[in-house]
Amino acid sequence: MRGIDHIVVAVRDLAAAARSYEAQGFRLTPVARHPWGTENRLIQLDGAFLELLSVPAGVDIPAPARGAFSFGAFNRDFLAAGEGASMVVLDSTDPAADRAAFEAAGLRLFEPFGFEREATGPDGVVRKVGFDLTFTEDPDAPSVGWFTCRNRYPENFWKPEFQQHGNGVRALAEVILIARDPADHHIFLQAVTGVRALRATSLGIECRTARGLVSILSPVAYEGLYGVSAGEPATWPRIAALRLTGPGVAARRVIAASDNRGLMLILDPA
């Protein structure tokens, strides 16, 4: 069983997005750059994180080789259509085992991929971080990216100082997707998370991972639960909202997607 590792949130202006999240009470890591040119700032939580990601002007993302998946190209193309959460990332301790499990389940596989970059800690020291990524895809949801991520140097990556947020948030409790028919994604969700027992309801399907809940709701269910539009059918399936929790959150607070670059945030008491 895998848990939620992080969510990629694609934004067109990283500096402006960072200012917005800081105004909402989040602490962000310094800007970091991937070897292929994308830039990010992270919101570290208790075991998971949000990755604000942008493709800077002038960066030319190369086309992927045959059989490879391009993280940069996927998010570049996502941003051409709009901003918001683009990818669900699950944790990993063994990329080879992930590949074997995905292959056994009939999921599409791409070439193995890993990279290293530099990260500046809260003490100003630059340290090496690295990751091994195992990409797959849901053929019925091509606009939502999925992969597992093994952190090579967790001692260099996770910093308690970056996990202290003024709004009281500490954990990523739930990732909420919208799909025309949630049942269409049942088999894929089982395979990618390694969770066999999903909960099917009249609202959709729920997958309780090793870290956090993944919910896929019908448009009607989403609108009924949250009182906001599910958007145009052309945007489904998509990652619509994240529910974040923490002992320092006094009462539910909702940050509308229209005020947060296409992604609704629900802040709940722990």
Average pLDDT over residues 191-207: 98
Tell me which residue of 115, 109, 103 sits closest to 149, measured CA to CA.
115
Q: Are 193 and 2 in contact (CB under 8 A)?
A: yes
Sequence-separated (6 or more) residues with CB below 8 Å from residue 23: none
**DSSP structural state of residue 29:** P
Give the rounded percent of residues in the chain with a pLDDT score beyond 90: 99
CA 75 to each of CA 14, 61, 85, 144, 190: distance values in angstroms, whole numbers, following the listed order? 13, 10, 10, 10, 25
Backbone angles phi, psi at 156, to 5 degrees: -90, -20
Give the predicted TM-score (pTM) of the model.
0.98
Measure CA of the first residue to CA of the last residue in the chain; give whole Å. 23
Q: Are 230 and 149 in contact (CB under 8 A)?
A: no
The C-alpha angle with vertex 67 and arms to 64 and 71, in degrees rounded to 5, equals 45
pLDDT-based confidence at 78, cuts 50/70/90?
very high
List, by residue range, all CATH 3.10.180.10 domains of the chain: 4-163
List, by residue range, all CATH 2.60.40.4320 domains of the chain: 171-269
Distance CA(222)–CA(220), nearest Å, equals 5
4-163 sits in which CATH class?
A: alpha beta
What tokens were used for 209? 């991972």
Q: Find tokens 């607070």 and name the residue.
A: 253
Write the CATH number of the domain with boundaries 171-269: 2.60.40.4320
Distance CA(86)–CA(212), nearest Å, equals 18
Q: What is the pLDDT of residues 16-39, one digit of tens each?
A: 999 999 999 999 999 999 999 999
Instruction: Say how far residue 160 (Cα) sits from the centre of its chain.
Output: 20
Q: Are 8 and 86 in contact (CB under 8 A)?
A: yes
Distance CA(228)–CA(186), nearest Å, equals 25
Give me the sign of the Cα torsion angle 36, 114, 162, 25: positive
pLDDT-based confidence at 245, cuts 50/70/90?
very high
Stated length of the chain: 270
pLDDT-based confidence at 131, cuts 50/70/90?
very high
Q: Count CA atoms closer than 13 A to 235's CA, side-chain side.
A: 20
Sequence-separated (6 or more) residues with CB below 8 Å from residue 10: 53, 54, 75, 78, 79, 83, 84, 85, 86
Distance CA(127)–CA(149), nearest Å, equals 19
Distance CA(244)–CA(120), nearest Å, equals 25
Q: What is the pLDDT of residues 149-190, one digit of tens each?
A: 999 999 999 999 999 999 999 999 999 999 999 999 999 999
pLDDT-based confidence at 194, cuts 50/70/90?
very high
